[in-house]
Chain A
Amino acid sequence: MTVYKYFFKITWNNKFAILLYFALFLVTVILNSSSMGDTETDFSDIRLSVGIIDNENSKLSNGLIDYIKSRNDIVDTKEDEVYIKEQIFMESAHGVLIIPEGFDEDTLGKKESVIVYTDDRRPESMQLENQINKYLSFANIAYQGDEYMLDDVEEALTETVQVNFIDKQGESNKNAIKWANFYFNFTGYAIVAIYIMAIGLVMSEINNKKVALRRRISSKRFLNYNIEILLGQLSIAVATVAVFIIGFIVWKGDLIGLIDFEKYIVNIVVFSTSILSLTFLVTNLTNNRYAIMALATVLSLGTSFISGVMVPQEYLGEKVLNIAKFFPVYHFVKANNTNISSYGEIRNELLIMILFAVAFLLLGLIVSKRSQRMNVSRVKSNMRQ
């Protein structure tokens, strides 16, 4: 098993790079999991992120601020237009209110009394504006004898409407499924990157012209050599997939009963096979380490963006998704996102990924055969010279 051992020795040299990909996966999943809530069984109002600056500090402005605070989450801000614009641009605040001096007087005169920074294309801006206008309209309606009767306003604002929540059948575990979908979809990115980079770099060394020539004159049988290489590649693939599956069990084992865990495992194994074949094709196409690493990054990151790993498929345009269908990642993500009662529902996705695996393998074999022929004819012509 000399070749097999050597395969792992080279892989081990790249351990830090491979570990960084796992770290990238881990950081992304941890950060995103913190923004996912519990299972939704009841209606809850959306709380916006709002920044407030009060330069009036009156009873009315404090009343408005208290009301806005009760309905939204307050974020830090400062009275600096550039800073506020960045908060809106980067969506770290849905809106920022500036209550200027003279606010009470302008409100009473039904003038524009509050400055609000928002992105007016977004529904969040409408919600915030509705809340502000409602409070100030109520304050004006309740204005009596030179005074805002804010206690009456606040009492009226406690009135709420009844909201009845219909739980979608079969989706009571929506958040567990959402979390598992995110986790396994993101493995799609990591698997493409790790396989092509790790296996690709090992193969670029093994396929090095000098090493290949030495191997040819060695007593090692070509079949045994290929079997050991294949075993090496399979070992990396199995180890990578195992890390992701065990990672899920260790981290979110309590969700396994709420999701179709078997579906995710079957899907990741089939996907992994197709990417292993893709790696086989890549390593036969080029031996250049820069090209291999460029392809690892382009194929992993590029296809993840258009296939729904980084941006959910429902937000991507139809044209983009039609192009994404030419990559296995799209079908992997689609199968992960489908809630199934039987495997028939994701049969097409699994089948397409298997077909991809076969196609990549055949293409790889054709390229390999061609390059072998070219190498042999080159050696022969060198010998003649």
Chain B
Amino acid sequence: MKSLARNVIYQGKNFFRDSGQVFWTILFPIILASFFNLAFSGLTYETIEDINVGVSEDNPLKFMLEDVEEFNIYEITDESYKDKLINEEIHVYVDEDMELVVSQSGISQSIIKEVVEQIKQAIALGRPIEGTEFQVSYIKQKDQESNSIIVIYYALIAMVSAYALFIGIETVSLMQANLSNVGIRLNVTPLKKESFLVSGTIVAFILNIISNIILLLFLKYVLKLDLFTNFTYSFILIIIGNLFGVALGVFLGASSKKDNNTKTAFGIAITLFFSFLSGLNGPGMKSLIDEKAPIIGRINPFSIITNNLYRINLIGNTETFPEGIVVLGIYIVILLCGSYFFLRRRTYDSI
């Protein structure tokens, strides 16, 4: 136990000696989150108030269209409506014969068409209309804000929770005589390798958790993002993400004789690849995958963390949480068993 604690302290100190690794672990997620926040701070969505309708002079429909509070009506007296359509100053031009002119398809154009069509269809219905019929709403509306872009932050948290893998790679490299000088020394001393590996794992886990907490505090207090409503479940997911990261790092470190540069580059590329699939580059990719290959969302470790984080915190849904934890747990066990297979009884004829 004493030697374990000593190893933890030494390996922790060793980590802080490498300024690049400290930068990578702590500052990198913060810089990336700042870029995301910068990009999304000015992001504009198409809203209902943006619908602009051009009408011909003395158009009988003008007054009916003016009744629709979401429409901005512009009376256009000459042929300039064509330029206004091309320059996207108006979405649709309505002439006195109830014909529409558009320069592109879109939701605003479809809405205006629907309204004009309704007037024509009401006439075609051939029933007396009092005028109050169309003021009735048959809809009991339940509003749910859509904000798929926020998933990017959860994908970022998922990705960095697995960044314990880099210290994992480093630890395994340090204990292998064919990969590092420290490994050579370690193999000729009576120090237990198991203790070294376990302490490395603890250091990787603790440091990455600290880095994650710094990121979460940054998101909450500096960027003022309220991403967490269910702290307990979220923290469990982040912890499991960290364990997965450590296990992946140990596996990558143990399974190949390549140098650390190669393994780290591979680790980054693989985490980035699966994070992209979970929505790191925008919700579009995630939605497409959910639609075309939903199984990927259920087996991709980064999607499991991302999906569960937003479900738990924004929708209050914990239904898929147990499944996610089990799948991640299976991955961790497989990776650790694989690592054990590569590391066991490793001896060297000459070091």
Question: Which A residues are within 8 Å of any B CB, using their own CB?
Answer: 13-14, 16-18, 20-21, 23-24, 27-28, 31-32, 34-35, 40, 43-46, 82-86, 88-92, 106-107, 110-127, 129-134, 136-138, 140-142, 152-153, 155-157, 159-169, 197, 201, 204-205, 286, 288-294, 296-298, 301-306, 310-311, 315-321, 323
CB B70 to nearest CB in A, in angstroms, measures 6
Tell which of A34, A114, A293 touches B138, judged by Cβ atoms closer than 8 Å: A114
Find the residue from B34, B151, B281 having the highest chain A CB count within 10 A: B281
CB B256 to nearest CB in A, in angstroms, measures 10
B139 near A: Cβ within 8 Å? yes
CB contacts (< 8 Å) of A126 on chain B: these are 48, 70, 111
B322 near A: Cβ within 8 Å? no
B133 near A: Cβ within 8 Å? yes
A92 near B287: Cβ-Cβ < 8 Å: yes
The A-contacting residues of B in range 300-329, CB under 8 angstroms, are 310-311, 314-317, 319
B343 near A: Cβ within 8 Å? no
Tell which of A17, A46, A117, A294 touches B28, judged by Cβ atoms closer than 8 Å: A294
B99 near A290: Cβ-Cβ < 8 Å: no
Can you list 27 residue pairs at the A/B interface with Cβ under 8 Å? A14-B261, A40-B104, A44-B105, A46-B106, A46-B107, A83-B317, A88-B144, A115-B140, A115-B142, A121-B48, A123-B47, A131-B114, A133-B138, A156-B122, A165-B102, A165-B103, A168-B103, A288-B23, A290-B264, A291-B19, A298-B35, A302-B36, A305-B36, A311-B39, A316-B42, A316-B43, A320-B42
The residue of chain B having its C-beta at the shortest distance from the C-beta of A155 within the complex is B124
CB contacts (< 8 Å) of B23 on chain A: these are 288, 290-291, 294
CB contacts (< 8 Å) of B40 on chain A: these are 311
CB contacts (< 8 Å) of A165 on chain B: these are 101-103
Q: How would residues 142 to 166 of chain B score, 1 for a CB under 8 Å from any chain A CB and 0 otherwise?
A: 1111111001000000000000001
Measured between alpha carbons, how far is A134 from B68 in the docked complex, in Å?
A: 14
A14 near B262: Cβ-Cβ < 8 Å: yes
CB contacts (< 8 Å) of B166 on chain A: these are 290
Stretch binding the partner chain, chosen from B198-206, B218-226, B270-278:
B270-278
Question: Which B residues are within 8 Å of any A CB, using their own CB?
Answer: 18-21, 23-24, 27-28, 31-32, 34-36, 38-48, 50-51, 70, 82, 85-86, 98-111, 113-118, 120-122, 124-127, 129, 133-134, 136-148, 151, 166, 258-262, 264-266, 268-270, 272-273, 276-277, 280-292, 310-311, 314-317, 319
Measured between alpha carbons, how far is A62 from B327 in the docked complex, in Å?
A: 42
A116 near B139: Cβ-Cβ < 8 Å: yes
CB A349 to nearest CB in B, in angstroms, measures 20
Measured between alpha carbons, how far is A168 from B285 in the docked complex, in Å?
A: 30
Tell whether A92 pairs with B18 under 8 Å between CB atoms, given A85-B144, A118-B141, A137-B133: no
The residue of chain B having its C-beta at the shortest distance from the C-beta of A202 within the complex is B261
B290 near A92: Cβ-Cβ < 8 Å: yes
CB contacts (< 8 Å) of B283 on chain A: these are 90-91
CB B158 to nearest CB in A, in angstroms, measures 15
CB B150 to nearest CB in A, in angstroms, measures 9
Tell which of A20, A167, A296, A310 touches B282, judged by Cβ atoms closer than 8 Å: A310
CB A93 to nearest CB in B, in angstroms, measures 9
Tell whether A166 pairs with B32 under 8 Å between CB atoms, given A89-B145, A159-B124: no
CB B5 to nearest CB in A, in angstroms, measures 26
The residue of chain A having its C-beta at the shortest distance from the C-beta of B311 within the complex is A86
A323 near B38: Cβ-Cβ < 8 Å: yes
A297 near B32: Cβ-Cβ < 8 Å: yes
CB contacts (< 8 Å) of A162 on chain B: these are 98-100
Tell which of A43, A169, A197 touches B102, judged by Cβ atoms closer than 8 Å: A43
Measured between alpha carbons, how far is A239 from B137 in the docked complex, in Å?
A: 62
B136 near A137: Cβ-Cβ < 8 Å: yes
